[in-house]
Chain A
């Protein structure tokens, strides 16, 4: 089955700098890749997603890139702010009847003021 590896597990950046989180997936049939932000004690919140027919997608300070050949995708956050501090999860999904999201292990991002 699908396996998603995420790194780094922790990331600390200065406010205003950029942060990059990377994920690799194993099943080339995966075609949907969402990113979730989870603050302590709160629900995972969908922040951006990308489908396999697109190489890059941007939404204000957040962007995701996808390399299908290498089977990896990345989250880029620019001009980081203290409120960006949270745990970020990547996920991959195959369209095979049920949409089963397979998640990475998470990255704890800390923005230092």
Chain B
């Protein structure tokens, strides 16, 4: 069984730039969620993708956007980067089904630093 993988592991950008982060879900999982984890804090929900559509969003502005592909992998795009966007970005996959609230399994994350 292949776990959740994310790329790249580290990224350095400057203010105003755009970034794309990638996530491959665990085999058999069809739902991907993205979280932002600031240093010393718990992860914060950005959004979730199911059947290639966003089906839930946290308190993040529209410059945070995403995609899900037919193979269930996903991208997180952030435009007009701000210093405050520096964080660990975590992807989690799960299996949506009739019985909801299935366990979410996380990848190692992408550490994004904004200069």
Residues of A contacting B101 with CB < 8 Å? 31-32, 51, 93, 95, 99
- The smallest beta-carbon distance between B22 and chain A, in angstroms, is 16
- Chain B proximity of A29: nearest CB distance (Å): 12
Task: Assess whether B100 is interfacial by the CB under 8 Å rule.
Answer: yes
- Is B42 in contact with A99, judged by CB distance below 8 angstroms? no
How would residues 24 to 59 of chain B score, 1 for a CB under 8 Å from any chain A CB and 0 otherwise?
A: 000000010101000011111101101000011110
- In the complex, the answer to whether B44 meets A43 with C-beta atoms within 8 Å is no
Asked whether B42 lies within 8 Å of A43 as measured between CB atoms, the reply is no
Interface segment out of the listed B12-20, B74-82, B106-114 = B106-114
Instruction: Place the interface of chain B in its size category.
Output: 20 to 34
Q: Say yes or no: is A97 at the interface (Cβ < 8 Å to chain B).
A: yes
Given A46-B103, A103-B42, is A97 in contact with B56 using a C-beta cutoff of 8 Å? yes
With A32-B101, A46-B103 given, is the CB distance from A104 to B108 under 8 Å?
no
A44-B45 CB under 8 A given contacts A98-B56, A101-B104:
no
Which one of B41, B55, B102, B108 contacts A105 once the chains associate, using CB atoms below 8 Å?
Answer: B41
| Residue B94 lies at the interface, judged by CB distance under 8 Å to chain A | yes
Whether the pair B43, A89 counts as a contact (CB closer than 8 A) is yes
**Max chain A C-beta neighbours (<10 A), residue from B31, B58, B92, B101:** B101
List the A residue with the shortest CB-CB distance to B40. Answer: A106
Q: A61: CB under 8 A from chain B?
A: no
Which A residues contact B (CB, under 8 angstroms)? 4, 6, 31-32, 34, 36, 42-46, 49, 51, 89, 91, 93, 95-106
26 interchain pairs (CB within 8 A)? A4-B42, A31-B101, A42-B108, A43-B90, A43-B107, A51-B101, A91-B42, A93-B101, A97-B56, A98-B47, A98-B55, A98-B56, A99-B33, A99-B96, A99-B100, A99-B104, A100-B45, A101-B33, A101-B92, A101-B104, A103-B43, A104-B42, A105-B41, A105-B42, A106-B40, A106-B41
